[in-house]
Structure 1
């Protein structure tokens, strides 16, 4: 196996291990674009793992330096992620800024321990999630990516708010509280109740407030997907609908996002994919 093929295969393993929904959504892309998405995901996973696996701010800064060296053409040829990402940067007009924004978002996880408002939470969500959409645009829509930025940002915000609503318990175990303080106060739900994992009417109202915002952002992003090239339209729509459906999965779990991880079943994915195909045929 050639080195570049081995590198991309390593990235494929990373995306399929950590995000089955993301992998399945983008699996229908043409081969070159699909492999490029794997490499970008592997970069994001590398950054995220520094924070989630007990790394330090110094390690994150070291990775940032590594990326700066990569941009200058210096990287380890024994590191599959850098090898694959280098190939992506050679094939596409990639922008460095979203990659630095992603690193900045992970820095915030070391620096910020609570979010006073939903607006501030969305600022964080831009860095850790909308940045991913902006990384992918030159791959998915190389001739139209500038016009798609606002939709990609909205989709990233929606996905991150969905992640936060799904992972309340997991985040608490890591010592993180992403639920905005002003919404907790609005719904008379205390930090003590949150830490105890209490699911009551106040918590449900609070959760649904954030979910409503996420669904508004999905609605903003959805019509912009029609401006993607045909080969990217279906996977981006699939990613949107898969993530949006996580909200319904939490609801089906009676809002238990403390001890039960919501996911979209294979059957639900098939049904959603069929609905997307039907809607696209109707638009054709």
Structure 2
């Protein structure tokens, strides 16, 4: 699929992609290299496309109309219908210091990333283009009304998580099934779990980043959950913990836990011989469930650093899941061990009656 895109230019662009990835995401820079070489490049490229879309939405100096313009332009750029150079030259000067330097650099070098995008197979490009289109269409619906009041309810949180993470799960599943015939045989089952996988990771990040988001005058927590526990999100203040807030937080931890169990089931549907894909999934799941456990133990935290898992925990997660990557029973045991004591709410309970607070359960033993 190189066409006129010569090997020398490709090598330079590929080197830049490898260089910039750790600057915009330490986690993905850690997990993506675990994938088979043929998947590493396209997944890294897909992630960087999502980062560009996020940067547009997160830039506070852009007006709603400007964000809409650049989001629509970026959709066209990824689809090969608009100039990446025009996009980069128009957007880059408008970015403020609120946007990380590495993200500004990524915007400036959009043409390099897009040249790699356009070198992929039609199926790979279709998966990436669909993800960017849905993300750029959906995120503004929430960013335009984001405030400290939070989201209305759990259903709204589900939709938000889909646009920022669930759609990424869809993209990855398409890429995995395109690469692996064994994964493709489980396509239907993987599709039933892929959005939940993304939501589990995104909800964990939302809960961990509560206080960082509030500094940006944003809250992604569902008001209705806290109303049920008797807490008003408008009164949320760091350093002034109230048990009613802790109860609402515990409820959301239980829902995130259920999504992460779906993520584990998803991973076990990947053939055991696809060790790289499994490691890619397992490392993210392991770090997320350990973060939920720390959040549950420290619901009175007032800074994300207080619930960040240690480097030792990260290293242990990597070692254990790597050793056990092909062994389903061992992986299930390790997940249950990490999730011990973490509240669990069956997802069916959250859907059947949104007005009732589901009963928290102990972590299920499987």
Q: What residue number does 2:39 align with? A: 33
Whole-angstrom distance in 2 between the partners of 1:217 and 1:68? 33
Query: Does the 8 A contact of 1:154 with 1:217 survive in 2?
Result: yes
Between structures 1 and 2, the one with greater helix share = 1
Q: Deviations over 1:101-135 (max 9, x none)?
A: 21123202333333111121111111111111112
Whole-angstrom distance in 1 between the partners of 2:234 and 2:223? 12
- Describe the shift of the 1:268–1:121 C-alpha distance in structure 2 as closer, same or farther (beyond 3 A): same
Whole-angstrom distance in 2 between the partners of 1:193 and 1:25? 38
More displaced stretch, 254-263 vs 177-186: 254-263
Whole-angstrom distance in 1 between the partners of 2:122 and 2:11? 15
Ranges in structure 2 where 5+ consecutive residues have no aligned partner: 1-6, 86-108, 330-366
Q: What residue number does 2:349 align with? A: none
* CA-CA distance at 1:190 after TM superposition: 1.8
Q: Deviations over 1:18-77 (max 9, x none)?
A: 322222122211223112111111111111112223133323432322322431454437
Q: Choose the corresponding residue for 1:66, options 66, 70, 74.
A: 74
CA RMSD of the aligned region, Å? 2.6
Whole-angstrom distance in 2 between the partners of 1:208 and 1:268? 22
Q: What residue number does 2:166 align with? A: 130
- Residue 126 of structure 2 is aligned to residue 94 of structure 1: yes
How do residues 222-261 of structure 1 correspond to structure 2 at under 5 angstroms?
Answer: 222-229=264-271, 230=274, 231-251=276-296, 255-258=300-303, 260=305
* CA-CA distance at 1:90 after TM superposition: 4.7
Q: Choose the corresponding residue for 1:120, options 156, 159, 162.
A: 156
Q: TM-score, normalized by length of structure 2?
A: 0.70
- Describe the shift of the 1:278–1:86 C-alpha distance in structure 2 as closer, same or farther (beyond 3 A): same
Query: Does the 8 A contact of 1:94 with 1:135 survive in 2?
Result: no
Larger Rg: 2
* CA-CA distance at 1:197 after TM superposition: 5.2
- Describe the shift of the 1:10–1:223 C-alpha distance in structure 2 as closer, same or farther (beyond 3 A): same
* CA-CA distance at 1:261 after TM superposition: 6.0
Q: What residue number does 1:104 align with? A: 137
Whole-angstrom distance in 2 between the partners of 1:65 and 1:97? 14
More displaced stretch, 119-128 vs 199-208: 199-208
Whole-angstrom distance in 1 between the partners of 2:9 and 2:24? 23
Q: Choose the corresponding residue for 1:83, options 115, 129, 145.
A: 115
Q: Report the number of matched residues.
A: 284
* CA-CA distance at 1:283 after TM superposition: 4.1
Whole-angstrom distance in 1 between the partners of 2:194 and 2:203? 14
Whole-angstrom distance in 1 between the partners of 2:9 and 2:133? 27
Ranges in structure 1 where 5+ consecutive residues have no aligned partner: none
How do residues 195-234 of structure 1 correspond to structure 2 at under 5 angstroms?
Answer: 195-196=237-238, 198-229=240-271, 230=274, 231-234=276-279
- Residue 92 of structure 2 is aligned to residue 56 of structure 1: no
Q: Deviations over 1:224-282 (max 9, x none)?
A: 21222513122112222222222234345554254636433332122112222343354
- Residue 306 of structure 2 is aligned to residue 264 of structure 1: no
- Describe the shift of the 1:200–1:216 C-alpha distance in structure 2 as closer, same or farther (beyond 3 A): same
Whole-angstrom distance in 1 between the partners of 2:122 and 2:283? 28
Whole-angstrom distance in 2 between the partners of 1:66 and 1:282? 42
Greater RCO (Cα-Cα under 8 Å, separation 6 or more): 1
Q: TM-score, normalized by length of structure 1?
A: 0.88
* CA-CA distance at 1:85 after TM superposition: 1.8
- Describe the shift of the 1:137–1:183 C-alpha distance in structure 2 as closer, same or farther (beyond 3 A): same
Whole-angstrom distance in 2 between the partners of 1:154 and 1:178? 17
